[in-house]
Amino acid sequence: MAIYLIKINVALMLLYGFYRLTVSRDTFFGLRRLTLWLIYAVALMVPALNLEYWVRDTPTMAGMANVYADTFYPVVVVKAQAPGITWIDMLLGIYWAGVAVLSLRLVWQLFSIIRLAVISRKQEVEDITVHLLRGEGSPFSFFRWVFMYPSTLEGKQLHEVMVHECTHVSGLHSLDTLFSELFSIACWFNPFAWLMKQEVRMNLEYLADESVLSDGNARKSYQYHLLGLAYRQPNESTKIANNFNLLPLKKRIKMMNKRRTSEIGKAKYLLFAPLAGVLLMVSNIESVAREIGEQIPEVAEVQQKAEQALNTDVAVSNPMAKEVIQVMNPAEAEEMEADKTAEAALIKAEEAKAEEAKAEEAKAEEAKAAAEAELTKAEETKVEEAKVVEQAKQAAEEKVKTKPQTDTTKKKKTWDCMPETMPQFPGGQLMLMKYLADNIKYSASAVKNKKEGRVIVTFIVQKNGSITHAKIVRSIDPELDAEALRVVKGMPKWTPGTQFGKPVSVKYTLPVKFSLQKDATPGKKK
């Protein structure tokens, strides 16, 4: 939800800024109303419209998503989650509190208008049913309801007010007002949402003022009437309605006196289409790239298992002890249980220490045996290579005697530099991240000992796509090093790199980052 809100507000800021720069001074009030509605619609659609399949299937878009992923998610990060309230939870709590307060305010305003419509007297004015206000109040309308105090208005002034408010009623301007109010509540933390609401209200007043002038009323006379009603401030509970003199009169009078915009200026509104397309494309590229980050494994489950293993109590089955405790007084039984618990804990600690020492000794023996085996294998390999070379030399000498040498020996080459085409994991970068996320495990002892850091693994992708010569070039911990090597060696065959159009062996470097959250405390019961 947080990502959805962020995308909505970013789109709203960009679209509103473009609106203010291009068309906010035009006199195409009807077209501006439609544009404001489209800004709201595009802002809501950009994060909701899913075109990720198109991004993945289009090479250019997929490349941009991979670049984004490589930039913001260059390594695999394994984190141990800790329980408790995060700062994100606190921000969401503040957000919902603001939404609740503003929603209650809106409900109160709607209730006040409905109540006023029910209890007020009605009167026919120019064949329109009008709800009479008590005392001198500012005229306003809400959907089909028109509120005013006719006795305080002169004949011509009354007619102008009626035309103004009837324009709001017939054009369903209250729908615009209500929607902008709801949007500003949902995005109350964004000042651009409030600016949009103000722009919507102001444009509706421009439409109503234009309707009054089109009805044949004198411009200056109408402006003087507006100034005469300016002192009548609307009730706080009715500000959601279309008030006759709610918004700044200076802007309205200035717009009435402005020269009409040329028809060619309507072409500017077409520029919103490519802007909306760019926002939609960027949103989906970000979603595809973010999917890589979301696939980074969380080790909350591993941590939980480790904590369970570390915190498992020693279960002592001794029926005789139970029977003895039953006949003891509570104090003696409690003391005996405490002694037994301490003794069991001591035994457990000694056993764990002995097992750890045994495991380290076994690991050292295995490493020594592996090293000796590797050395023996290397010596045997050298002997076999020498034999092969000698046989090849003899065969070549015999061949020279009978036939001129025409073949050349091609040496294998591993490309340490950048080849024409880099090797690729099956399915691309996204599938590589998914493979690592699914297979890398954070050991319980590493979580307990708070081991973290970045392991860098190098390996060679052979011509047939197989992985060989995997080794650690940057180590942080034997267990984590071994885990990184295990996962790398178990990878499926890659698509090999190419040079001059032919497959070549390429050396590849892969960083793997292991990190624990600062507040994660293994061994602590939840």
Domain boundary among 271, 294, 317: 294
- In a domain, residue 503? The reply is yes
CA-nearest of 189, 146, 197 to 169 is 146
| Structural domain count of the chain | 2
The last residue of one of the domains, among 294, 309, 334, is: 294
For residue 360, what pLDDT is reported?
A: 77
Task: Please name the residue that has the structure tokens 């077409």.
Answer: 270
pLDDT of residue 431: 84
Helix (H) or strand (E) holding 467: strand 467-474
Nearest one of 52, 67, 55, 15 to 36, comparing CA atoms:
15
The encoded tokens of residue 120 equal 């007020």
Q: How far is CA 107 from the centre of its chain?
A: 32
Q: Please report the pLDDT score of residue 512 as a whole number.
A: 78
**CATH code for the domain in which residue 428 is found:** 3.30.1150
| Structure confidence at residue 419 (pLDDT) | 80
The H helix count followed by the E strand count for the chain is 17, 11
Domain assignment of residue 377, yes or no: no
Beta bridge partners of 458: 471, 509
Whole-angstrom distance between the N-terminal and C-terminal Cα of the chain? Answer: 28
Q: Is residue 48 part of a domain?
A: yes
pLDDT at 234: 59
pTM of the model: 0.52
Phi, then psi, of 184 in degrees rounded to 5 = -70, -25
pLDDT at 410 (0 to 100): 43
Q: For residue 525, tell me if it sits in a domain.
A: no
CB neighbour class for 487 (10 Å; exposed up to 12, middle 13-18, buried from 19): buried
In this structure, is residue 80 part of a structural domain? no
For residue 346, the model assigns a pLDDT of 67
Q: Does any domain span residue 413?
A: no
Domain coverage including residue 446: 423-514
What parts of the chain have a pLDDT lower than 70?
A: 1, 49-84, 135-137, 230-247, 283-343, 346, 371, 374-393, 395-417, 517-526
What is the pLDDT at residue 177? Answer: 93
- Asked whether residue 468 is assigned to any structural domain, the reply reads yes
Q: Assess if residue 157 is contained within a domain.
A: no
Same domain, 289 and 428: no
467: its two tokens: 């992985």
Express each pLDDT in 227-272 by its tens digit.
777 666 556 656 666 665 555 778 888 888 888 888 898 898 998 8
